[in-house]
Amino acid sequence: MTTLTSREQLQKQIEMLPDDVVQQIADYTFFVMARRDITPLYADWTAKQWQDFSLEQFFCEDDEVEYLLADAQEIYHP
């Protein structure tokens, strides 16, 4: 099994899990990365990158409810 296939399979499995289990996986991932002294890739993200990521999560395709940009702007006040 190639690395790409393993990653793809893991990503598909994670997408099917409840949020609390995904959070546990994330916590464990951070633990392993800290133990191996691996810096998270997003450690150097700019505020714009975080904003883009947040908006991507907000408008996730798996969401059953449709949102408009105006909805996000109404909720988010920098």
Average of pLDDT values for 15-38? Answer: 84
* Token code pair at residue 7: 């990653």
Give the predicted TM-score (pTM) of the model. 0.47
Whether residue 67 contacts residue 58, with contact meaning beta carbons closer than 8 Å, is answered with: yes
Quickly state the pLDDT bin for 77 (edges 50, 70, 90): low
For the ranges 15-24, 44-53, 55-64, the one whose mean pLDDT is highest: 15-24
| pLDDT for res 31 | 83
Residues 55/59/61/64 CA torsion (nearest 10 deg): 150
Mean pLDDT, rounded, for 45-66: 70
